[in-house]
Amino acid sequence: MPYTTYLVEKGASHSFVAEAKPPTVTMPRIKALMTGSLPGFVDVVRNLNSPALLEDSVIRQAKTAGKRIIFYGDETWVKLFPKHFVEYDGTTSFFVSDYTEVDNNVTRHLDKVLKRGDWDMLILHYLGLDHIGHISGPNSPLIGHKLSEMDSVLMKIHTSLQSKERETPLPNLLVLCGDHGMSETGSHGASSMEEVNTPLILISSAFERKPGDIRHPKHVQQTDVAATLAIALGLRIPKDSVGSLLFPVVEGRPIREQLRFLHLNTVQLSKLLQENVPSYEKGSHPAPAQRPTGTAQKG
């Protein structure tokens, strides 16, 4: 994936290794990404016929805020969020032997939707790489071709977003991630390192870096994505999220904004503790540290 590699190593991006907690199957992982909570093994059963997601999520907060969301790909998303998309085209993941049409069905929408200006969020869930793993494992010769195809998709989206930014002062955010990994046999669902380690790349002109600025991928939790996306989109953090803001994405912001973002995350986690831990008492947690002199000034 040469274009993606360039963005990771030299482009305006932050990259992470996001740990997915077991069970490493699709529905619980989508749930973790969008709610910031930790799904249980009962969700493995629900993965076969996902009911509508009732928990608070980034999708629900975005819909409430009036953001127009478009989705193409794995129909699990449509089952979890049946009334949240202004437009969608779901693809079944049942036919595991198909690793071409499932992705072509997503990509065929791209040229048209990227030219349109009637959406705020676009979610694409490709299935082909997962299906190849199930068919012939991670060392299959088909993997390289599929990764090249995905690299081209990312390049198409990124270059389109860059051209659109010439018309608006607000930066776009492009997120590339996996919901789970793949074992040496091509399966997933358990807790091996290959199954729980997933890529997470956040790409935006807001993350511009100077030559020589080397950014090594940090290990984070997959549940950190929800809080980070919510703050990036100006939304409330889902109330059951246990994740932390991925701080590198706001390090370039003024110190006052950084403190505000961290405060939002802290307040949300504090409320979660109060509601779920009987022994937690208001005021029992340590007082915040004193702010170093000169780090921020009153405006």
- Judging by DSSP bridges, how do beta strands 174-177 and 197-203 pair with one another? antiparallel
pLDDT of residue 286: 52
pLDDT digits (tens, 9 = 90+) for 238-276: 999 999 999 999 998 999 999 999 999 999 999 999 988
Q: Can you spell out the DSSP letters for 11-62? A: SSEEEEEEEPPSP-SHHHHHHHHHH-S---THHHHHTTSPPPP-S--HHHHH
Phi and psi for 225 in degrees, rounded to 5? -65, -40
Residues 66-77, mean pLDDT to the nearest whole number: 96
pLDDT digits (tens, 9 = 90+) for 84-124: 999 999 988 766 667 899 999 999 999 999 999 999 999 99
pLDDT digits (tens, 9 = 90+) for 81-95: 999 999 999 988 766
In the predicted model, what is the mean pLDDT of the chain?
Answer: 87
Is pLDDT at 284 greater than 70 in this prediction? no
| pLDDT range class, residue 141, cuts 50, 70, 90 | very high
pLDDT of residue 192: 84
* Residue 3 CA: distances (Å) to CA of 9, 48, 110, 155: 10, 35, 18, 7
**Domains of the chain, residue spans:** 2-222
What count of other Cβ atoms lies within 10 Å of the Cβ of residue 271? 12
> Residue 126 and residue 103: Cα distance in Å, rounded?
6
pLDDT of residue 24: 78
> Residue 180 and residue 203: Cα distance in Å, rounded?
20
> Residue 64 and residue 67: Cα distance in Å, rounded?
7
Coil, helix or strand at residue 9: helix
pLDDT digits (tens, 9 = 90+) for 154-192: 999 999 999 999 888 789 999 999 998 887 766 676 678
pLDDT digits (tens, 9 = 90+) for 45-62: 444 455 789 999 999 999
How is domain 2-222 classified at the architecture level of CATH? Answer: 3-Layer(aba) Sandwich (3.40)
